Amino acid sequence: MFWKKSGSRKPAPADGPFTEQQAAALQAFRLPSWQQPVPQEWWQKDDDTITLNLPFAAHSSLLSELGSLACFAGMRFKINCRIEKLSNSQPELPLIYGNVIVVSSGKGGVGKSSVAVQLALALAETGATTGLLDADVYGPSLPTMLGGGDEKQDMSPQNKLIPHLRHGVHVSSMGYLADAKEAAIWRGPMASAALQQLFRDSQWPRLDYLVIDMPPGTGDIQLTLAQKMPVTGAVVVTTPQNVALADAEKGIAMFRKVGIPLTGLVENMSFYHCPNCGFEEAIFGRAGGERVAHDYDVPLLAQLPLASAVREALDAGAPLLASDPDHELNQPLRAMAAAIAGQLYLQEKAKCA
């Protein structure tokens, strides 16, 4: 097991780079969705800077809690990501796609595309080269959420589609090519062929992560697509309502049946957070995602709030991570991205153990 390699979990001795108190605080620190402390050797101290060296994407703000502790007064924290390329379900494909994260949902309208878009932005924000493929060919919504719908599609001299660079993410979507209403009437095989073309005939830069926004549902089309793509891990998005959870369970079963690694569950619209008084209400019920995660033994990677500011920003083609980076609603999204990237890494290490 990976953890054993990193040696004893005891705090570093006081004469190491850290004082005893500092070592204990680092030991108690947890990355989002990690049960264990990060290996001690990932921490590095240079003068007044403490760096966490990670093999996956995570935003430095995740360390702000540590920075506010008295034992670290006068010190600054940062995360340095050197993203490791993990294995995927199609090892024969070229490495340029990086770590491929499929975002799916059993049911429409739960916020799958919103999660895919914000995940891609949060990964790109850490410096990771990130692509986003709109596989939701029936209703491509990425040009709406990321803007630039009227930009023309550039082609390379080799006649490949050059992905649109939107808010730091390389995006390929049928929505930039075809009329969305036209795409909506395509039948299964046509949509599947179009998607594969979009995937293979896009001139992606060498990516660290490729996020794929799948069509909603758990039918044959979704199954075929998932099997034809090089998947590092699949994320299932749900809301806490029983109807959505029942469909999320079908999604989990679908990925398990065809042997696609399941990274975990994201619960969207978990609660409403009133921006005026701070009151929180679980509009769609409580603890549904936790129950499914427990019953199916998959990690619950995030519980995202329902917030009108999120919807308004997405409708305007400028998600909050891009248009208002300091907004408080970005923190759960950054934690989600780190949870997903970290979980992909942990699952790979568990495979190798």
> Please, where are the H alpha helices in the chain?
2-5, 20-28, 64-67, 112-125, 142-146, 180-184, 188-200, 220-228, 242-257, 288-296, 308-315, 320-323, 330-352
Contact characters 287-306, ligand ATP, x per CB under 6 A: -----------------x-x
Of 189, 202, 229, which Cα lies nearest the Cα of 213? 229
Report the C-alpha gap between 178 and 193 in whole angstroms: 14
The number of angstroms, rounded, from the C-alpha of 11 to the middle of its chain's C-alpha atoms is: 31
Task: Candidates 33, 89, 114, 218: give the one binding ligand ATP (CB under 6 A).
Answer: 114
Task: Candidates 37, 67, 108, 148: give the one binding ligand ATP (CB under 6 A).
Answer: 108
Q: Which is nearer to ligand ATP, 98 or 251 (CB)?
A: 251
Q: Which is nearer to ligand ATP, 111 or 147 (CB)?
A: 111
Q: Cβ of residue 68: shortest distance to ligand ATP, in angstroms? A: 27
280: contact with ligand ATP by CB under 6 A: no
Pairing of strands 272-273, 280-281: antiparallel
Q: Cβ of residue 181: shortest distance to ligand ATP, in angstroms? A: 14
Q: Cβ of residue 53: shortest distance to ligand ATP, in angstroms? A: 32
Report the C-alpha gap between 263 and 194 in whole angstroms: 26
Q: Cβ of residue 159: shortest distance to ligand ATP, in angstroms? A: 30
Report the C-alpha gap between 320 and 294 in whole angstroms: 31
Task: Candidates 125, 134, 136, 348: give the one binding ligand ATP (CB under 6 A).
Answer: 136
Q: Cβ of residue 349: shortest distance to ligand ATP, in angstroms? A: 31
Instruction: Give 123: exposed, middle or buried? Use CB within 10 Å, 0-12, 13-18, 19+.
Output: buried
Report the C-alpha gap between 167 and 149 in whole angstroms: 13
Task: Candidates 17, 109, 219, 325: give the one binding ligand ATP (CB under 6 A).
Answer: 109
Task: Candidates 10, 206, 286, 311: give the one binding ligand ATP (CB under 6 A).
Answer: 311
Residues in binding site for ATP: 106-113
Pick the stretch among 91-99, 109-117, 187-195, 227-235 that binds ligand ATP (CB under 6 A). Answer: 109-117
Contact characters 235-274, ligand ATP, x per CB under 6 A: ---------------------------------xx-----
The number of angstroms, rounded, from the C-alpha of 146 to the middle of its chain's C-alpha atoms is: 16
Q: Cβ of residue 54: shortest distance to ligand ATP, in angstroms? A: 26
Q: Which is nearer to ligand ATP, 41 or 281 (CB)?
A: 281
Q: Cβ of residue 283: shortest distance to ligand ATP, in angstroms? A: 11
Q: Cβ of residue 306: shortest distance to ligand ATP, in angstroms? A: 4
Report the C-alpha gap between 349 and 107 in whole angstroms: 31
Pick the stretch among 46-54, 106-114, 120-128, 288-296 that binds ligand ATP (CB under 6 A). Answer: 106-114
Q: How are strands ordered across the β-sheet holding 43-46?
A: 43-46, 49-54, 76-81
Q: Which is nearer to ligand ATP, 35 or 276 (CB)?
A: 276
Pick the stretch among 133-141, 166-174, 259-267, 338-346 that binds ligand ATP (CB under 6 A). Answer: 133-141
Distances (CA, A) of 293 to 30, 121, 128, 299, 332: 20, 25, 28, 6, 19
Instruction: Give 59: exposed, middle or buried? Use CB within 10 Å, 0-12, 13-18, 19+.
Output: buried
Residue 105's H or E segment, with its range, is strand 99-105
Task: Candidates 141, 172, 330, 343: give the one binding ligand ATP (CB under 6 A).
Answer: 141
Report the C-alpha gap between 191 and 22 in whole angstroms: 55
Residues in contact with ligand ATP by CB under 6 A are: 105, 108-114, 136, 139, 141, 216, 268-269, 304, 306-307, 310-311, 314
